[in-house]
Amino acid sequence: MLHFGHIGFLWCLALVPLIIILFAIARQWKFRALAKLGDKEVVHRLIPDVSYSKPIIKFGLFILAYILLIFALADPQIGSDTEDTQTKGADLMIVLDVSNSMLSQDFAPNRLENAKLSIDQLISNLQDNRIGIVVFAGKAYMQLPSTPDYSSAKLFLNTISTNIVPVQGTAIGAAIDRAVQGYDFTDGTSKAMILLTDGENFEDDAVRAAQIAHEKGVVIHVLGYGSSKGAPVPIYDNGRQIGFHLDSAGHRVISKLNDSLCKAIAKAGGGIYFKATNTNSGMGLAMAQINKMKQKTFNSIQFKTFDDRFQFFLAAAFLILVIEFFVSGRKSQVLHRLKLFEVKKT
């Protein structure tokens, strides 16, 4: 099976017809210029060593070398092996609070960055689990559907900020519902959810949402970010802090960890609750519980290994260019002396 590692380079082959047309135009211009010098037979006698066929040969060699070089850049590969890989694990959904209160700085630099760091470390240690990411504030969105591709998970994680959700607020219940929608309940794998939040919920019944999710077989672990004392919620403009959120009385809004709600959500979801600190996020504890869950085969992937073959095209292109370099634009003196096609008059 032929496969190209960088198939985009093949678009350069579209230039071949254009180059041929330009060569034909240039050749026609040359003939017209020679015709203006005088009689064709006289001109040929004035420049007897000039070949009219070899430029075509040289150009043909150049075009062939160009095509081979493009194929070399496209990195042609040939499939040499096929193997079936079955993966066992659980479906894990990360549910991350990105409301403005997560910017509070009782966790340096802020709660959100600490939570993202914990998720990044989690992804680095994952092996056989699928992972998805849901972000929420006033509304919940599926940031990354369930996938075994951990590189993509890290890429999407890096793009997360409080600006990613246009509607501010905190709707934990909606976030749990959205995460549940992201599971495939037909494959029989274990389902787990890790909720990272400060617990300030103003929109819905998060505990009831956790109960419904647990009834469907989802275990919910909760990691609480924030302090009981709380911290003001900063305001940023183009990455620069310009002040703090104020209430109607002009006082700073203080965001505190809602410890009781986080515990209630974890209890309703059949999971554990851990109050994160600057030194321990509790992510390891949550993953230890998830690893105890029943592991089932959730994916069967057929991989093909490919061997590069670009070196053959590159070598052929180089050889043709060398030949083209040594092909003279003049007539061969040996063949010219033989006069194979000369007719002698008797």
Q: What is residue 340's predicted lDDT score, i.e. its pLDDT?
A: 44
Q: Tell me how far CA of residue 225 lies from CA of 108, 135, 153, 208, 302, in angstroms.
A: 11, 15, 22, 21, 41
Higher pLDDT, 89 or 298: 89
Higher pLDDT, 68 or 80: 68
In a domain, 153, yes or no: yes
- 106-120, 121-135, 270-284, 315-329: least confident range: 315-329
Higher pLDDT, 321 or 211: 211
Higher pLDDT, 271 or 56: 271
pLDDT-derived band at 177, boundaries 50, 70, 90: very high
End-to-end Cα, the chain, rounded Å: 65
Q: Which of 331, 267, 277 is nearest to 111 (CA)?
A: 277
Portion of the chain with pLDDT greater than 70, in percent = 82
Residue 346 has pLDDT above 60, yes or no: no
pLDDT-derived band at 86, boundaries 50, 70, 90: low
* Together in a domain, 188 and 251: yes
In a domain, 199, yes or no: yes
* Together in a domain, 129 and 235: yes
Q: What is residue 306's predicted lDDT score, i.e. its pLDDT?
A: 67
Handedness of CA 279, 283, 289, 292 (dihedral sign): negative
* Together in a domain, 135 and 256: yes
Residue 341 has pLDDT above 50, yes or no: no
* Together in a domain, 222 and 128: yes
In a domain, 343, yes or no: no
What is the tens place of the pLDDT at every residue in 15-24? 999 999 998 8
- 41-45, 112-116, 142-146, 334-338: least confident range: 334-338
- CA pair distance 230, 232, nearest whole angstrom: 7
In a domain, 60, yes or no: yes
Contacts of 17 (CB under 8 A, 6+ apart): none
In a domain, 301, yes or no: no
Q: What is residue 84's predicted lDDT score, i.e. its pLDDT?
A: 54
Q: What is residue 48's predicted lDDT score, i.e. its pLDDT?
A: 59
* Together in a domain, 160 and 203: yes
Pick the most confident of 60-64, 126-130, 216-220.
Answer: 216-220
Instruction: Kindly report the pTM of this predicted structure.
Output: 0.62
Q: What is residue 231's predicted lDDT score, i.e. its pLDDT?
A: 94
* Together in a domain, 101 and 174: yes
What is the tens place of the pLDDT at every residue in 185-215? 888 888 999 999 999 877 789 999 999 999 9
Q: Tell me how far CA of residue 217 lies from CA of 53, 183, 192, 307, 345, in angstroms.
A: 79, 11, 8, 44, 104
Residue ranges making up the domain that contains 157: 91-294
Q: What is residue 294's predicted lDDT score, i.e. its pLDDT?
A: 63
- CA pair distance 90, 74, nearest whole angstrom: 38
* Together in a domain, 171 and 194: yes
Number of folded domains that form the chain = 2
β-partners of residue 106 are none
* Together in a domain, 26 and 121: no
In a domain, 171, yes or no: yes
Q: What is residue 78's predicted lDDT score, i.e. its pLDDT?
A: 75
What is the tens place of the pLDDT at every residue in 36-50? 765 666 556 656 566
Cis peptide bond upstream of 109, omega within 30: yes
Pick the most confident of 6-10, 42-46, 169-173, 309-313.
Answer: 169-173
Q: What is residue 229's predicted lDDT score, i.e. its pLDDT?
A: 92
In a domain, 316, yes or no: yes
CATH number at residue 212: 3.40.50.410
In a domain, 115, yes or no: yes
Q: What angle do CA 232, 238, 243 make, to 5 degrees?
A: 25
HEC per residue, the chain: CEEECCHHHHHHHHHHHHHHHHHHHHHHHHHHHHHCCCCHHHHHHHCCCECCCHHHHHHHHHHHHHHHHHHHHCCEEEEEEEEEEEEEECEEEEEEECCHHHHCCCCCCCHHHHHHHHHHHHHHHCCCCEEEEEEECCCEEEEEEEECCHHHHHHHHHCCCHHHCCCCCCCHHHHHHHHHHCCCCCCCCCEEEEEEECCCCCCCCHHHHHHHHHHCCEEEEEEECCCCCCEECEEEECCEEEEECECCCCCECEECCCHHHHHHHHHHCEEEEEECCCCCCCHHHHHHHHHCCCCEEEEEEEEEEEEECHHHHHHHHHHHHHHHHHCCCECCHHHHHHCCCCCCCC
54, with CB counted inside 10 A (0-12, 13-18, 19+), is middle
Portion of the chain with pLDDT greater than 90, in percent = 46
* Together in a domain, 47 and 182: no
For residues 115-141, average pLDDT: 92
β-partners of residue 306 are 79
For residues 312-339, average pLDDT: 73
Q: Which of 46, 19, 18, 24 is nearest to 34 (CA)?
A: 46
* Together in a domain, 152 and 264: yes
pLDDT-derived band at 58, boundaries 50, 70, 90: confident
Place of tokens 């590692």: 5
* Together in a domain, 33 and 164: no
Place of tokens 């040939």: 78
**What's the chain's average pLDDT?**
84
Q: What is residue 296's predicted lDDT score, i.e. its pLDDT?
A: 59
* Together in a domain, 123 and 66: no
